[in-house]
Amino acid sequence: TKETFDHIKENEDQVKAFITLNEDAAMKKAAEIDQQGINDDQLTAGIPLAVKDNILTKGLKTTAASKMLENFNPVYDATVVEKLNNNGFINVGKTNLDEFAMGSSTENSAFFTTHNPWDLTRVPGGSSGGSAAAVAAGDVLGALGTDTGGSIRMPASFNGIVGMKPTYGRVSRWGIIAFGSSFDQVGWLTRTVKDNALLTQMISGNDEHDMTSSMKEVPNWAAQLNDDTNVKGLRIAVPKEYFEGINDDVHEVIKNALDHLESFGAIIDEVSLPHTKYGVPAYYILASSEASSNLQRYDGIRYGFRAKDVKNIEDVYVRSRTEGFSEEVKRRIMLGTFSLSAGFYDAYFNKAAKVRRLIAQDFENVFKDHDVILGATGASTAFKIGAEIDDPQTMYMNDVLTVPVNMAGLPAMSVPAGFSSKNGMPVGLQIIGKPFDEQTVYNTAYVFE
């Protein structure tokens, strides 16, 4: 734990992965574990890990990278944190993100931008950019993230690490600051596939506090990760739409990754997911609609930021929200409120909900005779800080390959597949599985370990 903090202090000035460091409490807990000795049942006893700052930690500031929650101290732990505590983990600190997890670059944090450790002039991706950078910089072996439309996979891809978004319902959302509740899922960003499988198993399972969490048994995924023969005979689908509009350097790496899998006996088929191009517009309507509802609670009264010198109740609401939320969050609240309003509900929200169903059906059709779907995680490698931040539509298009997965609630991960021949930055391969079949996704990823 001490070495972890020494390491963080060496690079944190440049990388800026953390909003809050938990040094005193972490050192105290490490000392306690030293004294008591390690309990074999506790998988993460004494292991320093980091937590994205939209996941509640009792008594430790949780901001969602928003001015609205700048001084918010939760009174309870998220279920995932409680499970980690039961396993003796050391919480190193809370990592930076795009405000309320809305973004793809971590530039939307109300506090500061995180830098990509591979090239400090580039973004770490988002919204779990702080978690990804902390792992890539070698601070921690794993960091918790959340993924509503790609926020675990995309930063994993940009930072050359492993990121898994489990099946919707696999992990409890209790204590996660809600963004798009029918999309949100918690997961890990790690250095290795095996660590990811072990850690994901630990946080998975039914939770009485989250009625969308599944009753399904949680397998020991890591136990199956023994050799590369796991992919022999694996039926891999490669959607042609996933290669439209992706950069050549990314294409080249993905092509090599597919050849690599083929050399281990996997069978590769080209398929079509015809509604892919509607994913981004439909996602931004649906996720923003849910966000506009979820974010109503930040009213300047119940908790969080309150504007000064307010005149009346309406002034409290309007000014607290005007001053407490930044640009991107307000854009989503307006888009969502508009899509849900009586006059436009059918034209926007309802239509997007139907598109969501079609996208899910596309996946179901392909999964009838395939085990996994493969493609790139992002159409490009990590872009330069500042390059896209003033152009929301270009920023949203980064999610074209990741949002369809959340629309269908599928498990999907990004594994490092190689480096761009153009700029030397890491490229991630996305592996999408059938609902609750994380095992096949991990097996496929393990070939690249």
- Tell me: does residue 399 bind ligand GLN (CB under 6 A): yes
Catalytic residue selected from 127, 204, 320, 339: 127
Fill in the amino acid letter for 198.
L
What's the closest the beta carbon of residue 109 comes to ligand GLN, in angstroms? 13
Question: Toward ligand GLN, which CB reaches closer, 266 or 287?
Answer: 287
Question: Toward ligand GLN, which CB reaches closer, 62 or 151?
Answer: 151
Question: Toward ligand GLN, which CB reaches closer, 237 or 286?
Answer: 286
Per-residue string for binding with ligand GLN, 237-276, x by CB under 6 A?
Answer: ----------------------------------------
Of 30, 65, 84, 101, which lies in the binding site for ligand GLN, with binding defined by CB under 6 A?
Answer: 101
What's the closest the beta carbon of residue 152 comes to ligand GLN, in angstroms? 7
Q: Could you identify the residue written with the tokens 């580039």?
A: 122
Q: In what order do the strands lie in the sheet with 267-271?
A: 18-21, 90-95, 48-52, 142-147, 185-190, 162-165, 412-419, 426-433, 372-376, 235-239, 267-271
Q: How far apart are CA 271 and CA 310, in angstroms?
A: 58
- Tell me: does residue 289 bind ligand GLN (CB under 6 A): no
Cβ atoms of 175 and 77 closer than 8 Å: yes
User: Within a 13 Å sphere around the CA of 168, how many CA atoms are in the beta-carbon half?
Assistant: 18
Q: Which of residues 143-172 bind ligand GLN (CB under 6 A)?
A: 146-151
Query: Is residue 114 helix, strand or coil?
Result: coil
Please report which residue ranges of 166-238 form alpha helices under DSSP H: 193-203
Stretch that binds ligand GLN, among 58-66, 79-87, 140-148, 365-373 (CB under 6 A): 140-148
Q: How far apart are CA 442 and CA 365, in angstroms?
A: 22
Stretch that binds ligand GLN, among 55-63, 99-107, 113-121, 438-446 (CB under 6 A): 99-107
For 83, the enclosing helix (H) or strand (E) is helix 79-86
Closest of 62, 86, 92 to residue 74, by C-alpha: 62
- Tell me: does residue 91 bind ligand GLN (CB under 6 A): no
Question: Toward ligand GLN, which CB reaches closer, 12 or 399?
Answer: 399
- Tell me: does residue 102 bind ligand GLN (CB under 6 A): yes
What's the closest the beta carbon of residue 329 comes to ligand GLN, in angstroms? 10
Question: Toward ligand GLN, which CB reaches closer, 44 or 148?
Answer: 148
Stretch that binds ligand GLN, among 87-95, 102-110, 317-325, 382-390 (CB under 6 A): 102-110
Of 48, 74, 88, 103, which lies in the binding site for ligand GLN, with binding defined by CB under 6 A?
Answer: 103
Question: Toward ligand GLN, which CB reaches closer, 103 or 375?
Answer: 103
Query: Is residue 133 helix, strand or coil?
Result: helix
Catalytic residue selected from 52, 67, 165, 434: 52
Question: What is the size of the binding site for ligand GLN (CB under 6 A)?
Answer: 14
- Tell me: does residue 124 bind ligand GLN (CB under 6 A): no
User: What is the DSSP code string of 283-349?
Assistant: HHHHHHHHHHHHGGG-SSSSSS---SS--SHHHHHHHHHHHHS-HHHHHHHHHHHHHHSTTTTIIII
Question: Toward ligand GLN, which CB reaches closer, 130 or 149?
Answer: 149
354: annotated active-site residue: no
Q: How far apart are CA 47 and CA 24, in angstroms?
A: 15
Tokens representing 92 are 């190193």
Strand (E) positions, 191-284?
235-239, 267-271
151: annotated active-site residue: yes
Q: How far apart are CA 323 and CA 16, in angstroms?
A: 24
Of 62, 127, 292, 414, which lies in the binding site for ligand GLN, with binding defined by CB under 6 A?
Answer: 127
Q: Measured at the alpha carbon of residue 209, what is the angle toward residues 205 and 213, in degrees to the nearest 5?
A: 35
Stretch that binds ligand GLN, among 21-29, 95-103, 193-201, 206-214 (CB under 6 A): 95-103
- Tell me: does residue 175 bind ligand GLN (CB under 6 A): no
Question: Toward ligand GLN, which CB reaches closer, 111 or 317?
Answer: 111
For 34, the enclosing helix (H) or strand (E) is helix 23-36
Residue, CB closest to ligand GLN: 151
127: annotated active-site residue: yes
Q: Who contacts 297 (Cβ-Cβ below 8 Å, separation ≥6)?
A: none
Q: Which positions lie near ligand GLN, rule CB under 6 A?
A: 101-104, 127, 146-151, 179, 287, 399
Active-site residues: which are they? 52, 127, 151
